[in-house]
Amino acid sequence: MATVAGIEDKLKAAFQPIRLDIVDQSHRHAGHAGVRASVAGARAGGGTHFQVRIVAEAFAGKSRLARQRLVYAALAEEMAGDIHALALTALAPDEAES
Amino acid sequence: MTNDPVSERIQQEISANPVLLFMKGTPSFPQCGFSAAVVQILSRAGVQFKGIDVLTDPGLREGIKRFSNWPTIPQLYVKGEFIGGCDIVREMYESGELATLLTEKGLLAPAS
């Protein structure tokens, strides 16, 4: 299953973020069709819905679409598998309020 | 570009509908919080849109991900252009960019 630690490792390797916050929100979606469909999610009670806030130089000058595509690409394996939803905020350093 | 029938259908829908939302459930009965959020934003923005329920068609559900090269649903198209999913639509709504875009595309009367 997808874990906060696993996602953190991949995003850190891909973007060397200045700031990275990941929250597993799967419990808020328990019983949801996508969660039931994921055996791992049902068994472990987590690992399907994540909220990510990432601040990295890599996003500077890039459109919202381009930023999300970069993050999705870094997490391609997880997006194709266990992750049902990823609420994402990707900011360049000068856009983040510390 | 492709002879894939699902892609052709998607392209036809995108061409025929200026504001098109690929979503889980219908605008009246969204089946997912993220789809519901985009429906709510479009309704608040006051723009007419068509919702296509991908849950009724597994081929479409996977096909739209390939078509847009985007792994999640909902997906919003405006005048043939892929705008993004829930996060992007929400950010654009909150910053006023969504209203600007819809106005520029002639889909919304300018704010008086």
Split into its structural domains, chain B has a count of: 1
CATH of the domain at B78: 3.40.30.10
Instruction: Please answer whether residues A61 and A98 qualify as being in contact, where contact means their C-beta atoms are separated by less than 8 angstroms.
Output: no
CATH of the domain at A30: 3.30.300.90
**A1 pLDDT more than 90:** no
Collapsing DSSP to helix, strand or coil, B77 comes out as: strand
Average pLDDT, chain A: 85
Query: Does B48 reside within a domain?
Result: yes
User: By C-alpha distance, which of A91, A86, A87, A83 is closest to A64?
Assistant: A91
Interface contact A64-B71, CB threshold 8 A: no
Query: Does B111 reside within a domain?
Result: no
User: Which of B56, B86, B87, B101 to mutate to probe the A interface, most A CBs <10 Å?
Assistant: B87
| Containing structural domain, residue A82 | 4-97
Query: Does B109 reside within a domain?
Result: no
- If contacts are CB pairs under 8 Å, which of residues 43-62 in chain B contact chain A? none
Query: Does B112 reside within a domain?
Result: no
Interface contact B84-A80, CB threshold 8 A: no
Residues ≥6 apart with Cβ < 8 Å to B70: A68, A69, A72, B82, B84, B85
Query: Does B98 reside within a domain?
Result: yes
| C-alpha–C-alpha distance, residues A52 and A38, integer Å | 20
Query: Does B90 reside within a domain?
Result: yes
For chain B, what percent of residues have pLDDT higher than 70? Answer: 96
Query: Does B82 reside within a domain?
Result: yes
Q: CA angle, corner B64, sides to B58 and B68, nearest 5? A: 160
Compute the CA torsion angle B107, B109, B110, B111 (nearest 10 deg): -120
In the prediction, which pLDDT does A26 show? 83
pLDDT band at A45 (very low <50, low <70, confident <90, very high): low
Which residues in chain B show pLDDT less than 70? 1-3, 111-112
In the prediction, which pLDDT does A54 show? 97
B102: amino acid identity, one letter: L
Partner A contacted by B91 (CB < 8 A) = yes
pLDDT band at A47 (very low <50, low <70, confident <90, very high): confident
Split into its structural domains, chain A has a count of: 1
User: What residues of A are in contact with residue B33 (Cβ under 8 Å)?
Assistant: 29
User: What residues of B are in contact with residue A32 (Cβ under 8 Å)?
Assistant: 32
Please list the helix, strand and coil fractions of chain A in percent, rounded to the nearest 5, in that order: 50, 20, 30
| Containing structural domain, residue B83 | 5-102
pLDDT tens digits for B84-110? 999 999 999 999 999 999 999 999 887
**A11 pLDDT more than 50:** yes
Query: Does B108 reside within a domain?
Result: no
In the prediction, which pLDDT does A29 show? 67
Burial tier of B69 (Cβ tally within 10 Å: 0-12, 13-18, 19+): exposed
User: What residues of B are in contact with residue A85 (Cβ under 8 Å)?
Assistant: 34, 72
In the prediction, which pLDDT does A28 show? 75
